[in-house]
Amino acid sequence: MQNRKLRTSLATCETTDAAWWHVDAEGKVLGRLATKIATVLMGKHKPTYTPHVDTGDFIVVTNAGKVRITGRKTETMSYPRYSYYPGGFKDVPYQRFAKDHPEKVLTEAVRRMMPKNALGRNMLKKLKVYTTDTHPHAAQCPQAWTF
């Protein structure tokens, strides 16, 4: 029996090409939708996934304001932030946050599922979220992503 070396190919920035996907968020549950989006942004749906390389795709999400929240999260969920100054802690409840910034609800849910480093921040830039059913990315011909 011969010793054969198995060669594993690692993806690089030059060898990856990103596809464009379109997701309609109307009626979808926030957390379940965010996990699918985070998976595609990181590239884990591809067989060429490499943890230290951005192998993910672009995602355009429309109707983000019509996403569903289950249970009592509308009363209990909040979005904290801290300015690192004394007394600089702010806690915005979900109802007010969703009313003022409906697109940021989905963006924040996805951001919290991404890697907490520079690579994760670059991956998040490939997420385009819109509250209406129109988007300016028609030239990229995004394919419909169905779950």
Do 94 and 49 form a contact (C-beta atoms < 8 A)?
no
Residue from 139, 138, 137 nearest 126 by CA: 137
What does the pLDDT average to over 68-80? 96
- Give per-residue pLDDT as tens, 83-124: 999 999 999 999 999 999 999 999 999 999 999 999 999 999
From CA 99, how far away is CA 61, in angstroms rounded? 18
Entry pTM: 0.91
Cα distances (angstroms) measured from residue 37 to each of 6, 85, 142, 145: 33, 34, 14, 10
- Give per-residue pLDDT as tens, 16-65: 889 999 999 999 999 999 999 999 999 999 998 999 999 999 999 999 99
pLDDT band at residue 2 using 50, 70 and 90 as cut-offs: low
Fold of 20-69+98-144: Ribosomal Protein L13p; Chain: A; (3.90.1180)
